[in-house]
Chains A and B, each alone.
Chain A
Amino acid sequence: MKKKGRKHRKAATGQPREAAESALSQEPVVKTSAARKSVAIAHDPAILSREEDADQRKQAADLRQDTAELRQEAADLRQDTAELRQEAADLRQGSVGQREVAADKREDIANLRQDTADKREDIANLREDAADLRQVTADLRQVAADLRQEAADLREETATAKATLSASTQAQLREANERLVVATIQAQTMTETAELATEQMSYMAEHDFLTGLPNRALLTDRLVQSIALAERHGKKVALMYLDLDHFKHINDSLGHAVGDQLLQSVAKRLQTSVRLYDTVSRQGGDEFVVLLPEVEEVQDAVRAAKKLIEAMAQPHHINGQLLRATVSIGISIYPDDGKDLETVVKNADTAMYQAKKIGRNTYQVFIPEMSARAVARQSVEQALHLALEQHKFILHYQPKVNLETGAITGAEALIRMKESDDQLVGPDNFISIAEECGLILPIGRWVLREACRQTKAWLEAGLDIAQIAVNVSSREFHGKDFLAGVMSILDDTGLDPRHLELEMTESGLIQDSIPTTAILRALKHLGVQIAIDDFGTGYSSLSYMLRFPIDTLKIDRSFVQTLDEGTIDKGDAGEAIVSAVIAMGTSLKQRVVAEGIETQQQLAFLQSRHCAEGQGYYFSRPVPADEFASLLGTTLNQPHMII
């Protein structure tokens, strides 16, 4: 193994195998030469000895040994060489495979190198891309940096702008707040106003504007509730219908303002004269209704009515004046006098009219008979409507006579209504109802037109009639367009206004004196004559005699009738009044016409007092137009034949 080691070391040095073999072959040659030299010395007879022999032998042995060893080494070398050759062969053999593998490997390596080259190229490309991206990123970073800079600049600018605008912005904000506050408060105010208006409207819908009392609507509501309660508790409900007596006269003579104040005073007094849970309501005009819920019997209502009449007996202080206003009361009881609301109210109204009829300032409890009279009144109203539609009105004419000569000076036109059987109904039976229901306006207009038309016809026929007198109610006179209506009728009929005389009552004139005066003056300006009818019976003063342009005074028949014998006390007073009126008229240069002359004695007295004119049954009843035409031109100083 040691020899092998040497041999391997030499091989490991990388020396070629032939050189190694050469060295092996030369080394024994060197050692043999040296041995030969030593042997030559020993054979010298002089110096040779046994030691030299021994040395030589030893050297020869060593040489042999060395030679053996060399041989062994050579053998080993040969063996090694063989082995090496074998190994070389093996190696060559393996080398072939390895070369193939190597070739494959080289190919693989070539491929790998190619791949690597590709990869490197790719990497190079990627690096290039990365470089580009880095460049882009760098650019973007630059842009971002620029933007940040710009943003910073903007912030700085904004801050500067804010600082600059701060003062004006605050002012604008304050102004905005101010507007919002003002608008909100105004909205609150408007909302409150609207709510208040709604409340007021609701209140007004249920209360009378003038007196503040519940109106018809609220009364109806409370009456319904009272009836329901009364049914539940087995009791009764009383309804009192109140109407002020002669309120119209107060209104006419003192004006609507005073009339309204009186109504307010009456309302207060009524309220203080009933129980807390009673209801006083105003129905309109001078009508009131008092509701007494839960009464036991009709006498409870009677006691309440008496209390109200007593309370109303005290005068009212209005504008420094003491005014008296009595009431007429009608009482109706639920369920005795009606099973429903409408009937109870209607029957109380009917009872109130009955109280008026029996003298006013009193009460009446409804009884069924009253209803019949109310029905009759209703039938008259219907008849009036029918007469207007079917032209069932006609005029009769009562002559006015010169009391000295008996000559006819004119006539008073008086309306009649034809019934279905051609019977005539006088004005006393329907005029008051016509006034109540408002039909007086169309009826009055018809009377005026017909009287003017007829008079014009008589004049055109050559008949001599100085004047035609037409009665005008207060409601007509103070109605809308009265003056225009008169003018229109005069135009239409062609009657000279001087032939027309309008007769009005004192109370009809004394109302809103300024408009009254204006209308009267306008009529006078046209030429129309003005007469005061029923003079002396009205609720008025004499001052209007100076204010109004009055042409004629007509002495009321009630005074003339006192002139007869047998009415001594009244006769004296009547004579005094009649004499005074005649004297006053004469002094004021007004015509005086005595109405209702029915007897010779009356005529004689009037003649003795120089009363200029008169009319009455003594001369003639009212007669149809054709009969009156036949009277014209005659004298009527004797009782007329047609009486």
Chain B
Amino acid sequence: MTLAHRAGSAHDATAAAEATISTWRQMAGLCTPVIGARGVDVIFRRSMYLTGKTFPWLASGEEQGGSAALLASLKVSLTGRDADDAAAAGYTLLATFLELLATLIGESLTERLVSPVWAPSEQETVS
């Protein structure tokens, strides 16, 4: 399922933000048994930082506090933009997360892990 599918027909930043966060939560749920909650968190923060280079308005990932605070910050950042910006940043963030994960545990396992929530076509686009 793609982000666009998750966002549904509503073409607005809030839908993009919710789709991004929803997808991320599912990915985190699938990855946590393998790399632990801290592992997921640290990769996500790193993804935020790297994505921030392309989208400087995005939360930097250096925020203190737990994942909840980080996601809240991400949501604020995304909903504060227009729909296209929010969708592009959300997609780039998730793709960056998967790229990083693949460098750590291999592409095959990454695909197996996230295939229930991330469309292969999107992964192909990422790589």
Residues of A within 8 A of B (CB): 170, 174-175, 177-178, 180-182, 184-186, 188-189
Question: Chain B nearest CB: distance from A178 CB in Å?
Answer: 3
Contact call A177/B36, Cβ cutoff below 8 A? yes
Question: Chain B nearest CB: distance from A422 CB in Å?
Answer: 72
- 11 additional contacts (CB under 8 A) given A178-B35, A182-B39, A185-B46: A177-B34, A178-B37, A180-B39, A181-B38, A181-B42, A181-B104, A182-B38, A182-B42, A184-B104, A188-B46, A189-B49
Most buried by B among A178, A180, A181, A185: A181
Q: Which residues of B contact A182 (CB under 8 A)?
A: 38-39, 42
For window 22-45 of chain B, which residues contact chain A by CB distance below 8 Å?
Answer: 33-39, 42-43
Question: Chain B nearest CB: distance from A185 CB in Å?
Answer: 5
Q: Which residues of B contact A185 (CB under 8 A)?
A: 42-43, 46, 100
Q: Which residues of A contact B42 (CB under 8 A)?
A: 181-182, 185-186
Cα A178 to Cα B42 with chains together (Å): 9
Q: Which residues of A contact B34 (CB under 8 A)?
A: 174, 177
Cα A256 to Cα B117 with chains together (Å): 59
Q: Which residues of A contact B46 (CB under 8 A)?
A: 185, 188-189
Q: Which residues of A contact B105 (CB under 8 A)?
A: 177
Q: 23 pairs across A/B with beta carbons < 8 Å?
A: A174-B33, A174-B34, A174-B35, A175-B36, A177-B34, A177-B36, A177-B39, A177-B105, A178-B35, A178-B36, A178-B37, A181-B35, A181-B38, A181-B42, A181-B104, A182-B38, A182-B39, A184-B104, A185-B42, A185-B46, A185-B100, A188-B46, A189-B49
Residues of B within 8 A of A (CB): 33-39, 42-43, 46, 49, 100, 104-105
Cα A492 to Cα B92 with chains together (Å): 74
Cα A186 to Cα B49 with chains together (Å): 13
Most buried by B among A177, A182, A185: A185
Q: Which residues of B contact A188 (CB under 8 A)?
A: 46
Known: A185-B43, A185-B46, A189-B46. A178 touches B104 (CB 8 A): no
Contact call B100/A177, Cβ cutoff below 8 A? no
Partner of A181, one of B33, B39, B49: B39
Question: Chain A nearest CB: distance from B72 CB in Å?
Answer: 22
The binding surface of chain B is classed by DSSP as helix
Q: Which residues of B contact A170 (CB under 8 A)?
A: 33
Question: Chain A nearest CB: distance from B50 CB in Å?
Answer: 9
B101 to A, closest residue via Cβ: A181
A175 to B, closest residue via Cβ: B36
Cα A634 to Cα B105 with chains together (Å): 99
Cα A189 to Cα B104 with chains together (Å): 14
Closest 4 CB pairs of A and B: A178-B36, A181-B39, A178-B39, A177-B35
Question: Chain A nearest CB: distance from B27 CB in Å?
Answer: 14
Question: Chain A nearest CB: distance from B59 CB in Å?
Answer: 17
Q: Which residues of B contact A186 (CB under 8 A)?
A: 42
Q: Which residues of B contact A189 (CB under 8 A)?
A: 46, 49
Question: Chain B nearest CB: distance from A183 CB in Å?
Answer: 9
Question: Chain A nearest CB: distance from B45 CB in Å?
Answer: 8
Most buried by A among B34, B36, B43: B36
Cα A1 to Cα B104 with chains together (Å): 118
Question: Chain B nearest CB: distance from A188 CB in Å?
Answer: 7
B103 to A, closest residue via Cβ: A184
Question: Chain B nearest CB: distance from A140 CB in Å?
Answer: 48
Question: Chain A nearest CB: distance from B46 CB in Å?
Answer: 5
Question: Chain A nearest CB: distance from B92 CB in Å?
Answer: 18
Contact call A174/B104, Cβ cutoff below 8 A? no
Q: Which residues of B contact A175 (CB under 8 A)?
A: 36
Cα A180 to Cα B33 with chains together (Å): 14
Question: Chain A nearest CB: distance from B97 CB in Å?
Answer: 11
Contact call A174/B100, Cβ cutoff below 8 A? no
Q: Which residues of A contact B104 (CB under 8 A)?
A: 180-181, 184
Contact call B38/A178, Cβ cutoff below 8 A? yes
Question: Chain A nearest CB: distance from B52 CB in Å?
Answer: 13
A174 to B, closest residue via Cβ: B36
Q: Which residues of B contact A174 (CB under 8 A)?
A: 33-36
Cα A177 to Cα B33 with chains together (Å): 10
Question: Chain A nearest CB: distance from B22 CB in Å?
Answer: 23
Q: Which residues of B contact A178 (CB under 8 A)?
A: 35-39
Q: Which residues of A contact B36 (CB under 8 A)?
A: 174-175, 177-178, 181
Q: Which residues of A contact B38 (CB under 8 A)?
A: 178, 181-182
Question: Chain A nearest CB: distance from B85 CB in Å?
Answer: 25
Cα A185 to Cα B43 with chains together (Å): 7
Question: Chain B nearest CB: distance from A181 CB in Å?
Answer: 3
Q: Which residues of A contact B43 (CB under 8 A)?
A: 181, 185
Question: Chain B nearest CB: distance from A199 CB in Å?
Answer: 14
Q: Which residues of A contact B49 (CB under 8 A)?
A: 189
Question: Chain B nearest CB: distance from A447 CB in Å?
Answer: 56
Cα A182 to Cα B46 with chains together (Å): 10
Q: Which residues of B contact A184 (CB under 8 A)?
A: 104
Cα A177 to Cα B43 with chains together (Å): 12
B47 to A, closest residue via Cβ: A185
